Amino acid sequence: MSGAPDAGSIAPPAAARTATVILFDIDGTLVLTGGAGGRAMTRAFEELFAVPDAFRGIPMPGRTDPLILADAAARAGVDLAPEVHDRFKARYHEILRAEVPVGGPRYGVMPGVRPLLETLQQRDDVTLALLTGNYEAAARIKLEHFDLWRYFGFGAFGDEAADRNALVPLALERTRQRGRPQVTAADLLIVGDTPLDVACARAGGARVVAVATGSHGVEELAACAPDLVLADLSDPTALLDLLAR
């Protein structure tokens, strides 16, 4: 964040001058769960609505849980009244808790994530938070399994908006409520693995780092013009440089 040209003479503390809220996506960015989310949604849907394989062909990466569910429900002719949605979520989360430890072909904490979070957690000019299409309970199940939940102070989750773009203003509002009334969207840095992560950052006025550990490659992400594209987070030098700018 740049201040007035002569602001340097005031010499504010580093935390006040450059504090960045880094908003991490989960799936494909922090972790991959080997398809546990898709399996758990599929089983919960079949149990509740007697429709097998309800999510086949429905795109998931970068999209919010309620939007994914709404697509499946519309195709199956299921009326998603709020109490039905709540029942689905409850059963989905029960199954997810059992499915996440199972593993799969693409599974685990993404390269460099844990040391990066350790590094960022030490800094007083960085706040770590989540911005994810996952329902909050699903986010917690996935991240607690890999012992990553504890790094994040708050988040904006799929429960709160089916439209991912609406999660950025929510994260901003939450930051203000947590003692940073002056924070602006330019102080937010989103880290995500899909063009939809880049799009939500752009829509909300936030900066964005795209990381190609999920379902999209470096070239595809670069075409969305994020502030930075990384193959993975194993060398975070460029990301840390971005924080200083």
> CA–CA separation, 221 vs 25, rounded Å?
15
Q: Which residue is nearest to Mg ion (CB)?
A: 28
> CA–CA separation, 189 vs 176, rounded Å?
15
**Strand 126-131 vs strand 155-156: parallel, antiparallel, or unpaired?**
parallel
| Minimum CB distance to Mg ion, residue 29 (Å) | 5
The contact set with Mg ion (CB under 5 A) reads: 25, 27-28, 193
| Minimum CB distance to Mg ion, residue 200 (Å) | 11
Residue with smaller CB distance to Mg ion, 28 or 236: 28
Residue with smaller CB distance to Mg ion, 19 or 40: 40
Q: Are 195 and 216 in contact (CB under 8 A)?
A: yes
Residue with smaller CB distance to Mg ion, 28 or 155: 28
Residue with smaller CB distance to Mg ion, 19 or 132: 132
| Minimum CB distance to Mg ion, residue 106 (Å) | 12
Q: Which residues of 231-241 are buried (b: 16+ CB within 10 A; e: fewer)?
A: ebbeebeebee
> CA–CA separation, 139 vs 135, rounded Å?
6
